[in-house]
Homo-oligomer: A and B are copies of this chain.
Amino acid sequence: MAEFDLIAQYFTRPGLPGLNPADLGVGDDAALISVSPGHQLAISADMSVSGTHFFSEADPYAIGWKAMAVNVSDMAAMGAKPKWATLSIALPEINGEWLSAFSQGLFACADTFGVSLIGGDTTRGPLNIAINIFGEVPVGKAIRRDGAQAGDDIWVSGTLGKAALWLQHRLGKLDLDLVDVTNFAVAMHQPQPRAALGLALQEIVHAALDISDGLLADLSHILKASGKGAQLDWAALPKPELLHSSLPLTDIQQAVLAGGDDYELCFTASPRRRDEVLALANTLELPLSRIGTITEAPGLRVLNGETAIELSQKGYLHFD
């Protein structure tokens, strides 16, 4: 099968209503898009590699969903509206069943969040999925990492640690009941990027990012970029509910504070904005937890009552 047939069969679809067509899409040397007047284009890139980001035998539908979802999540973290994406994919072989499920998962996520696939590349090689995503944000309204101010509340969406607990179980390092495993597997395999939240936060917050490498590791980026510190309250953190399993507190702390793959948003806002944030939680039917405070003093501390929590591993290091 030639590259062009492969693209035609699995990665080309008629335009869907409500999606954002390119001026010129797949099939030329480049795609063409027009950015809305008064807007900047936000560009992000995430690469998913077999054996690094997912197990080689993982469900291809989930691989496709997640490869797109982690990119949508970056748009959410900027307060940008996701509109277009490119897919570059290296495939070890042409496996129609795999490609069909993969593209269904990819497009299911793209459709959910209004993203049009406008170009890319296909080639032979070890399985590697490189997506670039493009979104629009009104000029000057992007939510950056460097805007946190001392006294800001620190917020996080959803629940932290589910994906990490699933992974630890899958690696044989934790023992979870099947009911809990199944529950957590959804967080790992079909993460829900917080696109609507990110757009709504544009006018409210000082800084935001999405949590891919673990809360502490990612929050540290905000602190470093903003030249600030933070104190977190363990009791206020949104923890995964263990229905049929029990785990040592240290394992839960590790997952919640340093577990990767959550794709929730962490953001900081003035305490005067609390009512607006809580109203958003209601509107979006998405838990938003106020988990701590930005401090002028540097450093990042997590208090469990009066005691500081120490972790064995602070977050996911890509090349540790």
Copy number in the complex reads 2
Cβ of B3 and Cβ of A318 under 8 Å apart? yes
How close is A41's CB to chain B, nearest CB, in angstroms? 5
For A208, the closest partner residue in chain B by CB is B29
Name the B residues within 8 Å of A118 (CB-CB): 43
Describe A's contact surface by its main secondary structure: strand
Chain A interface size, as a band, is 35 or more
Interface residues of A in 203-237 (CB under 8 A from B): 208-210, 225
Known: A2-B320, A27-B225, A88-B130. A40 touches B45 (CB 8 A): no
For A84, the closest partner residue in chain B by CB is B43
Give A77 to B78 CA distance when docked, in angstroms: 32
Complex A-B: 18 CB contacts under 8 Å: A6-B319, A24-B144, A27-B225, A29-B145, A30-B133, A33-B41, A34-B40, A34-B41, A41-B41, A47-B88, A47-B128, A49-B90, A49-B123, A51-B125, A52-B124, A53-B123, A124-B318, A128-B130
Residue numbers of A with Cβ under 8 A of B are 1-3, 6, 23-24, 27-35, 37, 40-47, 49-53, 74-75, 77-78, 80, 84, 86-91, 94, 118-126, 128, 130, 132-135, 137, 139, 142, 144-146, 208-210, 225, 317-320
Complex A-B, nearest 4 residue pairs according to Cβ-Cβ distance, in ascending order: A49-B125, A130-B130, A29-B77, A126-B126
